[in-house]
Structure 1
Amino acid sequence: MLTRQPIFPGIIELNFQAREVLGCNVYLIFDADEWLLIDIGYEETVDDFIQIIRQLDFPFTNCKTLIATHADVDHIQGLAKAKQLLKTTVTAHPNAVKPLRDGDTLITLAEIEAQNLKLDMPPVTVEHEVNDGDIITVGNLELEVWHTPGHTNSQLAFRMGDVLLSGDNIYRDGCIGAIDAHHGSDIKAFVRSLQRIRDSDVKWLAPSHGPIFANDADFMNRTIDRVRGYLKMADFGTLAESWPLMDEWDDEVETGKLPEGLTPPK
C-alpha cells in the first residue's frame, strides 16, 4: 500500500503522488467513504492511475463520479475505460455532453489532419450535468462549480475553500489553454474567466497541467492584458474581433501613403 500524500486536505494529485508525470493532472477528492476524480487523461494511462488508486486503498465502489473539466482529448480520452473499470458515472458541463457522447474527434482535438494526428475518442455517456454555482459534495466536502469558458465552451473549474482546481484557464508560467475555434474557444469569455479568478479570494490555483501556484493579481493581470490583445491580432483569425492593421491600410491606400524611406519609381 502507498501512503497518501494530499497536497491540500482532501485533495491528492495522482501524478504528484506517483512522483511521475503520466499525463494531465488528475485530482482525487476524498472525504469519509467517498471519493471522485477530476479528469483522467489519455486511455493509455488509465491502468496506471487505477493502480495508484488501488494502492492508496480507495475502494472502487466508493467512487462517486468522474468529472471532465472540459471535452479535450488529453483530459477525457480515458473516461469510457475508467468508467467501466470503476463502475461509476461521468459528470460534465452541458456543452461537453454531445462531443463526449458522439466521440467527436474534431471538437475534442483528437484529430488534426494537417498535423497527421488521429487519436481514438471512445464515446461516453454523461449522467450528470453541472452548471455554474452548482455544488458537488464528497463526504462532507463541497466543490463549488465555476463555468469558466474561454479555452473551451465547456471548461469548468472547482472551488474548495482556498483552492481553485482551475482546469486549463492558466498555468504557472502565465500560459493559458490553447485558443482554437474548433473546440469552442472564445477570447472575450477567456478574459472574463481570468478576471473572475483574479478577483476572487482564492489563494491557490491547481491547474490541469503543471504545478500548483499562488493566485497573484499582478501575475494574472499580465496574462489578462496579453489575452485581451489577442482580440486585435490576425494570429487568432475568426476569434479576433478586429484587425487594426486593416484600418491603417485603408487609410494609407486612400491617401497613397508609403513607408518612410520608400520612394516609388518614376
Structure 2
Amino acid sequence: MKPFKICDGLYQIGGPEITAPEDCCVYLLDGGGELAIIDAGLGRSAPELIGNIKKLALDPASVKYLVATHGHIDHTGGLAYLKEKLQAKVVAHEHELPAVEGKNVSLTAASYYGVKYRPVAVDVVLRGEEETLDLGGLKLVFLHTPGHTPGGISPYVDFGGKRILFGQDIHGPFHPAWGSDLAAWEQSMRRLLALKPDILCEGHFGIYQPYEKVKRYIEGYLQRYREKA
C-alpha cells in the first residue's frame, strides 16, 4: 500500500501495510507550509517515511515537529534518524523522557522487538495537562493521556470543519514494567470521548470516522477492560 490522503492536510505515511509490519501507524499533518509527523515507527523504515512524504508531493524539509505520543520503540525508533535528516524538533511529555532520551531503555520495550534503541534529545518538553503548538495556520493541541504509559499524549487539531484526534495505543496493552495504570487510562479515554472527534487516527488499527464509529471503538475497549477487572 502507498502513503495516502485521509482528508485535506492529513496523511498516513507509515504503518504495517505501508512501511513495515512492526511499525505503528505514522501520520503526517500539513499546517500549510509546516508539517508534523506523528510518531516514527520502529526505525528500520525511517528513510522510507521521508520518501513517502515526497510521494505525496510534499517537502520533507517543511517538517517542523516530530511528535512522540509515548516512548515505546515501535513509535520512537525512527526519531533519531528523522531528526538528523530533517532538522525537526522532537516533542514528547516529560514523563516519557527516560524512554525517549534513552536513560531507561527498558521503558522503550526494545527487547520485545529484538532491536537496539537510538536515543534522541527531546526539544519540546510537554509538562502540562494540555499544551498547544502552532503548526503553520493550525493549533496542535496535546492532551496528557496517561494509562498505557505515564506520559502518553493524544494530540488533536481542528481544521476543515473537523476535529482530528491522534489516539495512539488506545487499545493498550498494559504492563507494570511500563508504568501502566488502568484507572488513569479509563479517565484518559473519557477525556477523549468528551472531545467528540470526527476522525480518530489510531496507533495500530488505522482510521475511524465519523464520531459514532470513534465512540464505539473507544467504548468497546472501556467495556473490555471493565469485564477483565
Q: What TM-score comes out, normalization by structure 2 length?
A: 0.86
Q: Which residue of 1 aligns with 2:13?
A: 14
Q: Which residue of 1 aligns with 2:81?
A: 81
| Distance change in 2, residues 1:10/1:184 (3 Å) | same
Q: Which residue of 2 aligns with 1:124?
A: 120
Q: Which residue of 2 aligns with 1:172?
A: none
In the alignment, structure 1 residue 34 sits paired with structure 2 residue 29 = no
Equivalent residues of 2:100, 2:121 under 8 A apart: yes
Q: Which residue of 2 aligns with 1:144?
A: 141
| Distance change in 2, residues 1:124/1:218 (3 Å) | closer
Deviations 1:7-43 (A, max 9, x none): 1221111148x97353211111112211110101011
Q: Which residue of 1 aligns with 2:175?
A: 180
Q: Which residue of 2 aligns with 1:109?
A: 109
Quote the sequence identity (%).
26
SS of match in other structure, 1:210: coil
The two structures, once aligned, show a CA RMSD in angstroms of 2.3
Q: Which residue of 1 aligns with 2:131?
A: 134
| Distance change in 2, residues 1:219/1:76 (3 Å) | closer
State the alpha-carbon separation in 2 of the partners of residues 179 and 59 from structure 1.
37
1:42-121 equivalence runs, <5 A: 42-102=42-102, 104-112=104-112, 118-121=114-117
Q: Which residue of 1 aligns with 2:221?
A: 223
| Distance change in 2, residues 1:221/1:33 (3 Å) | closer
SS of match in other structure, 1:194: helix
Give runs of ≥4 in structure 1 deviating > 4 Å: none
Amino acid corresponding to residue 11 of structure 1 in structure 2 = L
Amino acid corresponding to residue 6 of structure 2 in structure 1 = I
State the alpha-carbon separation in 2 of the partners of residues 56 and 127 from structure 1.
27
Deviations 1:195-245 (A, max 9, x none): 222233222211011221144445543421332344x4xxxxxxxxxxxxx
Which of 131, 148, 156 is residue 159 of structure 1 equivalent to?
156
Amino acid corresponding to residue 87 of structure 2 in structure 1 = K
SS of match in other structure, 2:106: coil
| Distance change in 2, residues 1:83/1:220 (3 Å) | closer
Amino acid corresponding to residue 20 of structure 1 in structure 2 = I
Task: Say how many residue pairs are matched.
Answer: 218
State the alpha-carbon separation in 1 of the partners of residues 18 and 176 from structure 2.
32
Q: Using CA pairs below 8 Å that are at least 6 residues apart, which structure has the higher relative contact order?
A: 2
| Distance change in 2, residues 1:141/1:102 (3 Å) | same
SS of match in other structure, 2:108: coil
Amino acid corresponding to residue 136 of structure 1 in structure 2 = L
State the alpha-carbon separation in 2 of the partners of residues 4 and 188 from structure 1.
36
State the alpha-carbon separation in 2 of the partners of residues 93 and 181 from structure 1.
19
State the alpha-carbon separation in 2 of the partners of residues 228 and 10 from structure 1.
36
Unaligned runs of 5+ in 1: 170-175, 233-266
Q: What TM-score comes out, normalization by structure 1 length?
A: 0.74
| Distance change in 2, residues 1:121/1:200 (3 Å) | same
Equivalent residues of 2:14, 2:41 under 8 A apart: no
Equivalent residues of 2:36, 2:64 under 8 A apart: yes
More displaced stretch, 182-191 vs 220-229: 220-229
| Distance change in 2, residues 1:197/1:84 (3 Å) | same
Larger relative strand fraction: 2
